[in-house]
Amino acid sequence: MNQQATGTDDAGRGHVLVHDPTLRDGHHAVRHQLTTHQLRAYAQAADAAGVPVVEVGHGNGLGASSLQAGRARLSDDEMLSVVREALPNSRMGVFMLPGWGTVHDLRRAIAHGADVVRIGTHCTEADLAERHLGLLREEGVEAHGVLLMSHMASPAQLADQCARLVEYGAQGVGILDSSGHYLPADVSARIVAMRAAVDVPVMFHGHNNLGMAVANSVAAAEAGADILDACARGFGAGAGNTQLEVLVPVLERMGFRTGIDLYGLLDAADIAERELMPAPPTIDSVGVVSGLAGVFSGFKNRVLDVSGREGVDPRDVFFELGRRQAVAGQEDLIVDVAFALRERSGDPSATTPAGRTR
| pLDDT top residue among 299 and 129 | 129
CA atoms of 206 and 204, how far apart (whole Å)? 6
Q: Give the pLDDT confidence score for residue 4 in this predicted structure.
A: 42
Q: Give the pLDDT confidence score for residue 355 in this predicted structure.
A: 39
pLDDT digits (tens, 9 = 90+) for 254-304: 999 999 999 999 999 999 999 999 999 999 999 999 999 999 877 888 899
The 10 Å CB-count burial string (b at 16+, else e) for 133-145 is bebbeeeebbbbb
Contacts of 12 (CB under 8 A, 6+ apart): 255
pLDDT at 308 over 80: yes
SS3 assignment for the chain: CCCCCCCCCCCCCCECEEEEEHHHHHHHHHCCCCCHHHHHHHHHHHHHHCCCEEEECCCCCCCCCECCCECCCCCHHHHHHHHHHCCCCCEEEEEECECCECHHHHHHHHHCCCCEEEEEEECCCHHHHHHHHHHHHHHCCEEEEEEECHHHCCHHHHHHHHHHHHHCCCCEEEEECCCCCCCHHHHHHHHHHHHHHCCCCEEEECECCCCCHHHHHHHHHHCCCCEEECEHHHCCCCCCECEHHHHHHHHHHHCCECCCCHHHHHHHHHHHHHHCCCCCCCCCHHHHHHHHHCCCHHHHHHHHHHHHHHCCCHHHHHHHHHHCCCCCCCCHHHHHHHHHHHHHCCCCCCECCCCCEC
Average pLDDT score over residue span 212-230: 98
Average pLDDT score over residue span 97-115: 96
Q: Give the pLDDT confidence score for residue 346 in this predicted structure.
A: 67
Q: Give the pLDDT confidence score for residue 297 in this predicted structure.
A: 76
Residue 205: φ, ψ to 5°: -130, 115
Closest by CA to 140, choosing from 121, 120, 114, is 114
pLDDT at 353 over 50: no
Average pLDDT score over residue span 315-334: 88
> To the nearest whole number, what is the mean pLDDT of the chain?
92
pLDDT at 183 over 70: yes
Catalytic residue ranges: 28
pLDDT digits (tens, 9 = 90+) for 134-177: 999 999 999 999 999 999 999 999 999 999 999 999 999 999 99
Average pLDDT score over residue span 228-252: 96
Identity of the residue numbered 224 = G
Residue 67: band (very low, low, confident or very high) from pLDDT cuts 50, 70, 90? confident
pLDDT at 81 over 50: yes
Q: Give the pLDDT confidence score for residue 13 in this predicted structure.
A: 85
Q: Give the pLDDT confidence score for residue 237 in this predicted structure.
A: 87
Q: Give the pLDDT confidence score for residue 358 in this predicted structure.
A: 36
Average pLDDT score over residue span 304-315: 94
pLDDT at 357 over 90: no
Residue 1: band (very low, low, confident or very high) from pLDDT cuts 50, 70, 90? very low
Identity of the residue numbered 149 = M
pLDDT at 12 over 90: no
pLDDT at 9 over 70: no
